[in-house]
């Protein structure tokens, strides 16, 4: 049985784990939340690179993984190139804001991107944006909104703070674009867990785009696995560098997984 390691700064990557569970029922999944150092989006690039290296080394040494999924937009933006150089024998799949899929569905060609400050300020995001803009069939405009505090509020499961932050960041985004936005990219794996509040703030005419399913399919492809018709597979192994009870409760709340998380010293 193949083993895939998945890491995120905290519980947000559970949105990617959900897609992996559906797409890869025959694969052993090991999820590592770096909750002791979350959120990555508000940390220095050097810290994110250092933590990403430690988490990858721990997953390889402890679980002998066959592939790695970086279920964090900030870590992908800042650390994936270095990890691929350090681990050339390990297939590594990252997550990036789904700009190209958003262009495909947008009618107004005005697209919002809700993401962490670290993601929006990264050179990797700038390259992706330039590439999509240069290949689009007609001019497209991206409006990036850094969502300071949102990932942390999701980590803490703080509903009042979540509602306030969702409305604050959405209003700032709409103000940038003058109200023309019809599509919004969720550029952080935490944000799908605030989807209802974001839809409430954006209104019914705005389409939300995230990347979980695309990442899961890409992981299946790099492992060269056939599509499985089985609905479910073995439960994942959950680890946290912080409070494992918080990860256990998040997995139960959002994924319906009755799995007990364990503490990791990664």
pLDDT in tens for each of the 266 residues of the chain?
Answer: 899 999 999 999 999 999 999 999 889 999 999 999 988 988 999 999 999 999 999 999 999 999 999 999 999 999 999 999 999 999 999 999 999 999 999 999 999 999 999 999 999 999 999 999 999 999 999 999 999 999 999 989 999 999 999 999 999 999 999 878 999 999 999 999 999 999 999 999 999 999 999 999 999 999 998 876 565 667 999 999 999 999 999 999 999 999 999 999 99
Q: Which two tokens stand for residue 83?
A: 């990890």
Which CATH fold would you assign to the domain 99-210?
A: Rossmann fold (3.40.50)
What pairing do the DSSP bridges indicate for beta strands 183-186 and 207-209?
A: parallel
Alpha-carbon span 21 to 5, nearest angstrom: 12
As a CATH number, domain 3-95+213-263 is 3.40.50.1860
Q: Given 147, 166, 188, 259, which residue is catalytic?
A: 188
Task: Give me the sheet containing 262-263, strands edge to edge.
Answer: 92-93, 67-70, 3-8, 28-33, 237-240, 262-263
Task: Tell me if residue 188 is catalytic.
Answer: yes
Alpha-carbon span 222 to 88, nearest angstrom: 14
Task: Tell me if residue 72 is catalytic.
Answer: yes
Q: Given 72, 147, 166, 259, which residue is catalytic?
A: 72
Domain regions of the chain by residue span: 3-95+213-263, 99-210
């Amino acid at each position: 049985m193949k083993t895939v390691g998945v890491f995120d700064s905290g519980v947000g990557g559970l949105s990617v784990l959900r897609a992996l569970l559906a797409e890869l029922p025959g694969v052993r999944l090991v999820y590592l939340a770096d909750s002791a150092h979350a959120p990555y989006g508000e940390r220095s690039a050097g810290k994110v690179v250092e933590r990403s290296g430690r988490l990858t080394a721990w997953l390889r040494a402890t679980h002998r993984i066959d592939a790695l999924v970086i279920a964090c937009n900030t870590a992908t933006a800042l650390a994936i190139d270095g990890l691929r150089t350090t681990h050339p024998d390990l297939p590594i799949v990252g997550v990036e804001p789904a700009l190209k899929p958003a262009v495909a569905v947008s009618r107004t060609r005005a697209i919002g991107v809700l993401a962490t400050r670290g993601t929006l300020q990264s050179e990797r995001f700038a390259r992706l944006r330039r590439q999509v803009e240069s290949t689009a069939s007609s001019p497209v405009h991206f409006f990036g909104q850094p969502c300071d505090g949102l990932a942390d509020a999701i980590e803490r499961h703080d509903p009042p703070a979540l509602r306030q932050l969702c409305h604050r960041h959405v209003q700032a985004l709409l103000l940038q674009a003058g109200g023309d936005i019809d599509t919004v990219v969720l550029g952080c794996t935490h944000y799908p867990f605030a989807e209802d509040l974001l839809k409430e703030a954006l209104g019914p005419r705005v389409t939300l785009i995230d990347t979980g399913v695309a990442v899961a399919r890409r992981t299946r492809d790099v492992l060269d696995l056939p599509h499985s018709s089985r609905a479910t597979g073995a439960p994942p192994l959950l680890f946290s560098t912080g409070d494992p009870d918080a990860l256990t409760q998040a997995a139960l709340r959002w994924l319906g997984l009755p799995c007990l998380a364990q503490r990791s010293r990664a």
